Structure 1
Amino acid sequence: MISEFIYKYYIDPIHYDNSYNIVNTLTYAFILLVCTWLIYRWLDSNHISIDREFVYSLIPWIVFGGCLRVVEDTGFIKSDIHVILITPLIYFLIFAIAMPALYGAYVLEKRGVIPSWKRIYFWAGILLSAVTLLFIIWFGLTSAHFDLLVAGTILAMATATTGLLYAIIRYGFRWQYVQDRLYQILIFGHMLDASATSFGIDLHAIPYTEKHVVGSALIDLTGTAFVMFPLKLLVLIPGIYILELYRREGATGIWYLILVAMIMVGLAPGIRDMMRMVLYV
């Protein structure tokens, strides 16, 4: 009975890359919160500063995760090992690469080998992202499509909606703290996710589908994937408000980590969806 439950709600959706269900969605959300807290405790216990530069150094690794997920979409990996590139396993894979690299760079700085571990860590993420992106470009040019117009359209949608949401929050709600660059990255990441989803389902030549529970239900209810934009508003506006309360209470370390987690769950799938649509896979 228990094994059937596990296969139905956890293993089969990963193995067959099916849509999410309410059970695994809530489970993964809980795991993300727990992991965020554990990472915070580990960083704090090792006296690794969690600051603005720390967040910036992680952004390329989020991009790397989004690009690496596209490698699985290409079907290039034929063996069963491809499942480690499917959510949520890919998050553990990125973690297994990123955390040792982070600690190694930190130790090198402490020993005076390098001047700044965050700078090295940032460029390591850039390098991994570039290598993965080069593979995606190569695959698109040799084995699939590589439609830059798709990327341009999605990025234009994301940029325009980011500007609009920023204006609403900054001038409508008069939340001046949204001028913080990290909040702007957060908004852009989720607008990219919403733009890619909307374009892929409603406008792309290939009929893509939404796999997340809430998004899928709202799309079925409204008949359009552009409902993702108001859904993002319902998440982002109170999310940013609550985040700012944390920061004002002095909990800056956990504020930075929660902010990174929120950026990740928007930017990474946004990049993945956009790039797979560029390839038509």
Structure 2
Amino acid sequence: MATVAERLDVEPLQLWTGSVLALLVALIGGSLLFPRTVYDGFVWHFFWGPVQADANSAFCAIREGGATRYLYESAACSAAPEPVAYPGYTLVSEVGYVVILLVALSGLVFLLRALDLGTDRELFFSLLPFVFFGGALRVVEDVTDAAADPLIDYPLNTLLISPVIYFTVFGVTLAAVVASVALARRNVVDDYTRPLLASGVVFLVATLLFLLWSAVAPDGPGTFYPQVIVVILAGSTVSAAGTWWLIERFAPAVNAGTGRMGFVVIWGHAVDGVANVVGLDWMVALGAGPNLVPKHPVNRAIVEITGSTLPASVLAVTGDTWPFLVVKLVAATVVVWLFDAQIFDENPRYAILLMIAILAVGLGPGTRDMLRATFGV
């Protein structure tokens, strides 16, 4: 079957560039021509407004007469006319970010082709520390926001808030990739993945040391609950290992294409699931302060459905977040099954980038939730 580029008789890179430019022109032009409808009602309402509200520690933000105002009481937000933006995600914004992610991945394929990279699976593992780094860096903003005198104020703190932080981490990662490739091509190192992995570890360790300092320093904004991170890592490892055993025992074809990458993806999403279960239901039981609140629509929906369907006596024992872990494990397993050997043979760069992205959307938020609970922010 002919591709879109072949039917239109254009180069794939030209088609991608033209499509991105057309989308940008539509959004920017629409925002200029119809600011109240396109910008206030869509771009700001679902994408930039939640970031502004989060960066200013507001309960919500509202758009009035082309200006943004922040509200700090729930009742005022409920009474405010639309558009009203709350910190966090909506279903519309999450769909939009998925579209942006797919477009960005296509662009990255062209970049990797230009650098002659991405056909080996070692790239996936060398980027693993950067996924942890992204989640940990998001907690830096949580810590500074909890401080009496924040180290990073608005608007710079938006660089550490989703989804802008994804571009921040991408910029850091891209710089590390280019530098590592340059070292390899100048014969300073034998393999670019080694300095790439090392640089990711350095960024991650530096971020974790800052978070630890914020917890143990006098008058620091955080606390330190080591039992939380131990329970989350142990629970996610056991649940991922159990899922992997079932796959290897009863359906080995599921993992025929991904190999070790498949286990890492399942483990990353298990971290997200267990971090939610512990953070939302078991913080008090672990002696680690109050339970957190769900920020993603899927989390909230699962909590609401479970809370409304199970008896109170059952919820008192199990909590209402555990189905989220089941959903994460099942979804990750299905994704691993979809990535068969043929996909990696036909387009290894895109397949590996997709695997990294799928890992990031689970392990990134999971790392943030795990560290938020661990450091009490």
Smaller-chain TM-score range?
Answer: over 0.9
Deviation at 1:189, TM superposition (A): 0.4
Structure 1 residue runs without a partner (length 5+): none
Normalised to the residue count of structure 1, the TM-score between the two structures is: 0.94
CA RMSD of aligned residues (A): 1.7
Q: Residues 23-46 of structure 1, C-alpha deviation per residue, up to 9 Å, x if partnerless?
A: 111000111111111101110122
Partner SS state of residue 208, structure 1: coil
1:149 is matched with 227
2:213 is matched with 138
Closer, same or farther in 2 for the Cα pair 1:248/1:60, shift >3 Å? closer
Structure 2 residue runs without a partner (length 5+): 1-35, 55-86, 284-288, 308-319
Which residue, out of 208, 215, 222, partners 2:299? 215
1:46 is matched with 115
2:354 aligned with 1:280, yes or no?
Answer: no
Q: Residues 28-70 of structure 1, C-alpha deviation per residue, up to 9 Å, x if partnerless?
A: 0111111111101110122124312111111111111111111
2:51 is matched with 14
Q: Residues 58-105 of structure 1, C-alpha deviation per residue, up to 9 Å, x if partnerless?
A: 111111111111101102434111111011101100111111221122
Which residue, out of 332, 343, 350, partners 1:236? 332
In 1, Cα distance between equivalents of 2:40 and 2:105: 30
Partner SS state of residue 151, structure 2: coil
1:77 is matched with 151
Q: Residues 177-235 of structure 1, C-alpha deviation per residue, up to 9 Å, x if partnerless?
A: 38822111111100000000111111113231222222221211112111112211341
2:136 aligned with 1:67, yes or no?
Answer: yes
Mapping of 1:165-180 within 5 angstroms? 165-175=243-253, 177=256, 180=259
Deviation at 1:115, TM superposition (A): 2.4
In 2, Cα distance between equivalents of 1:8 and 1:243: 35
- Indicate the structure whose relative CO is greater, using CA pairs within 8 Å and at least 6 residues apart: 1
Deviation at 1:119, TM superposition (A): 0.6
Segments ≥4 residues shifted beyond 4 Å: none
In 1, Cα distance between equivalents of 2:229 and 2:111: 38
Asked whether the 8 Å contact 1:169–1:178 carries over to 2, the reply is no
Deviation at 1:245, TM superposition (A): 5.3
Closer, same or farther in 2 for the Cα pair 1:139/1:101, shift >3 Å? same
In 2, Cα distance between equivalents of 1:230 and 1:26: 22
In 2, Cα distance between equivalents of 1:48 and 1:249: 15
1:198 is matched with 277
Normalised to the residue count of structure 2, the TM-score between the two structures is: 0.71
Q: Residues 104-133 of structure 1, C-alpha deviation per residue, up to 9 Å, x if partnerless?
A: 221222122332221111101111111111
Partner SS state of residue 87, structure 1: coil
Q: Which amino acid aligns with 1:196?
A: A
Asked whether the 8 Å contact 2:118–2:352 carries over to 1, the reply is no
Closer, same or farther in 2 for the Cα pair 1:262/1:37, shift >3 Å? same
Q: Which amino acid aligns with 1:168?
A: L
In 2, Cα distance between equivalents of 1:100 and 1:133: 21
In 2, Cα distance between equivalents of 1:52 and 1:72: 32
Closer, same or farther in 2 for the Cα pair 1:196/1:32, shift >3 Å? same
In 2, Cα distance between equivalents of 1:41 and 1:47: 10
1:101 is matched with 176
In 1, Cα distance between equivalents of 2:234 and 2:135: 19
In 2, Cα distance between equivalents of 1:178 and 1:217: 33
**Count of aligned residue pairs for this structure pair:** 281
In 2, Cα distance between equivalents of 1:134 and 1:253: 34
